Structure formats: C-alpha cells, structure tokens
A and B are shown apart, each in its own frame.
Chain A
Amino acid sequence: MIYYASSLLLIGIGLYALIIKKNLIKVLIGLDLIETGANMLIVSIGFVKGGTAPIFSKEWLVPPLFVDAIPQALTLTSIVIGASQLALAAAFVVVLYKHYGTLDIRKIRSLKW
C-alpha cells in the first residue's frame, strides 16, 4: 500500500513542479518525477504478496509464486524512453538559454502564459 501512496505522492510533487515552478530546469525535474512515479505505480500494480522476481533458478525450476512480469518488461522500456526524452528536453533548454539568456519562463516570450 505504501508503494501506491508514495508513487502518487511523487506524481503529485512532479505535477506541482511542472505547473508552479518558473525555472525550466525545475520543470524538467518535475517531468522526471512524474515519470518515476508512474513507473513505480506500474511495477507496484504487478506486485503479488509473497512473490519473488520472475527469474527461474536451479533450485526453483517449478514456478514458485512470481510477481507479474509484464509491468516489469513495460517499465524496462519506459525508463529508457524517459531518459532519452529527458535528454531531448534538456537540449531544448540549452538552446533556449542561449537564445534568451535566461531560464525564467516568464521572460521567455514564446512560453508566456
């Protein structure tokens, strides 16, 4: 249960940073927090009480109680996508800083809202 609560908390903090914060780096951190929370939520949905990691070993050739393998496989790819997406966003931030000389989104004209 604590896994659900903490991943929801992570998503909430990330949304807060995404909406309220004015610094672009902090917005990126919020984006990453949301992604981490979502990954954690997906993995913890697949958890089975008393289950172990879905890897057979020589002692356990008959399947014991395993946790669900699909959320883990999906999260594995999602983490890599998140990393590359963050790199792309950081590249955008670097170019924006070069062009406008600031990271404050209130002073960047095309991002004003």
Chain B
Amino acid sequence: MIRKIVYAIFIGIIIAGVLMFLSAFPFGENKMLVGKYYIENATNDAGAPNVVTAVTLLYRGFDTLGEVMVLFTAALGVSIIFAVEEKKKKVVQPPNFVVRVGSRIVFTFILLTGFYIFMHGHLTPGGGFQGGALIATGFLLLYLSYSDTGINRKRFMVAEGLGGIIYVFIGLIGLFVKGSFLANFLPKGTMFDLLSAGILLPLYIAIGLKVGSEFAGIVDDFMCEARCTGGEG
C-alpha cells in the first residue's frame, strides 16, 4: 500500500513537471518561429503542396535517413532474437474459411491502397511510412488466413536494401550536383501533378519499399516463432 502511494506521488511529480513546461506554451496560440518560414517557402523550395512532407523529406531529410536506420536496427534485432531459438513444428488451428476466401479479394486492394498512399505522399496526407505499414498489414492478413504461407525473405531483403540504397544515392547525387546532401536536383514541375516536387516522390517510394518490407519481415519473424518448422528464421 505504501509502495503504491509512493509511486502515485512519483507519477504526480512527473506530470507536474510536464505541466510546468506546458505553461510556457498556451494552447491554440500561434507560436511558430521556424514553422512560419517552412509554410511560406515550402511551395517554392520543394514544389509540394504538402508542407509536412516537405519538412520531413527536404528540410529534415537527413533526420529521416537516421530514422529509417532506427527502424532497420529494430527489425534486425527482432530477427536476431528469434534466430537463436530452436524452431519446432507446432499444432496451429486452421484458419476460418471466410477469412481464407475474403483475404484473396482484400489483399490486392490493401496492396494497391498502400502503393497509392506512398505515391501521393507529396500531394495528400500520407506518405512512405503510412503506405509501407499498410502493405505490411496486407502480408499479416495473408499469414492469418493461410497456415502454410511464408514470404520469400530473400526478395524482401532485396527490396529493403534497394530502398535504402536509392535514398542514399539520391542524397549523394544532390551532394555532387547541387553541393548539399539531399538537395532537390530534379525539376519541380507544376504543383498538384503526380510527377512533381522533384526528389520527394522517389524518396517516398524508397521509404515505402523499405518500411513495407521491414514490417513484413517483423511480421514474418513473429509468425515463424509461433508455427515455424525449422531452418532459417
């Protein structure tokens, strides 16, 4: 009982600290400093109507590269943790008939929606991360509906590596052509077109490939842990 009270006081102190920090930032007021510059100049610098995408990929593209690295490290960690264990065949319940038939129809549309979302990341809300996660959920559905399914890990690793290489390569081309890493060296085109906004579209395609294949790999690791027959994990 005393322990719980002590912990409650501890949580209260943390919340109070956050509140003290928040008192400097009243809700709903316009307190933009850097954000103002981004909103005013994003259409000229990037040629993309979506300011969030311009901030993520153009102004802070290097951060995003590091963030993709974090994702890669986590996926690698999951693979390594599950790889040391021995795999044995387990009895699993066969999936439901409705799920099995329905997933054949739905899987295509999930994949298509994922591609749509990361192709239109510079125009609409969305982008490579969201589209990639959606594609991975499609593969999760396949795993849930067929008990003997398994994705080809080698091909997914190729897709993952291709995404990372494209990202770094675009950055390096910008370094050599324009003089700074991830500079926008492609023509911007007309706004609101699909093929516009310079490097943002290929960057988001690369991120979508990478995130999708990484999350699908994580799904594969977890499902393999539940019902794998052995061999490579």
Contacts and interface: CB of A to CB of B under 8 A. Distances in A.
Nearest to B55: A73
Interface in A22-48: 41, 44-48
B11 A66 contact: no
Contacts of B225: 94
B27 interface: yes
A80 interface: yes
Interface in B1-55: 4, 7, 10-11, 14-15, 18-19, 22, 25, 27-32, 34-35, 38-40, 42-43, 49-52, 54-55
Interface string B63-80: 110010011001101100
B198 interface: no
Contacts of B222: 87, 90-91, 94
B74 A1 contact: no
A47 B11 contact: no
A88 B125 contact: no
B52 A54 contact: yes
B56 A45 contact: no
B78 A87 contact: yes
Nearest to A53: B125
A80 B35 contact: no
Interface string A9-33: 0011001100110000000000000
Interface size class of B (residues with CB under 8 A): 35 or more
A46 B22 CA distance: 12
Secondary structure of the B contact surface, majority rule: helix
A6 to B, nearest CB: 12
A92 B81 contact: yes
B27 A12 contact: no
Contact of B71 (A20, A70, A81): A81
A76 B78 contact: no
B175 to A, nearest CB: 22
Contacts of B55: 69-70, 73
A105 B18 CA distance: 29
Interface in B204-219: 211, 214-215, 218
A70 B32 CA distance: 9
B5 to A, nearest CB: 11
A74 B164 CA distance: 20
B78 A91 contact: yes
12 contacts: A53-B125, A54-B51, A55-B50, A56-B50, A63-B39, A69-B35, A69-B42, A72-B52, A73-B56, A79-B129, A80-B129, A88-B77
Interface of B: 4, 7, 10-11, 14-15, 18-19, 22, 25, 27-32, 34-35, 38-40, 42-43, 49-52, 54-56, 60, 63-64, 67, 70-71, 74-75, 77-78, 81-82, 85, 124-125, 127, 129, 133, 191-192, 211, 214-215, 218, 221-222, 225
Nearest 8 CB-CB pairs, A to B? Answer: A84-B74, A49-B28, A56-B49, A54-B51, A73-B55, A68-B35, A69-B51, A77-B67
Interface of A: 1, 3-4, 8, 11-12, 15-16, 19-20, 41, 44-49, 51, 53-58, 63, 65-66, 68-70, 72-73, 76-77, 79-81, 83-85, 87-88, 90-92, 94-95, 98
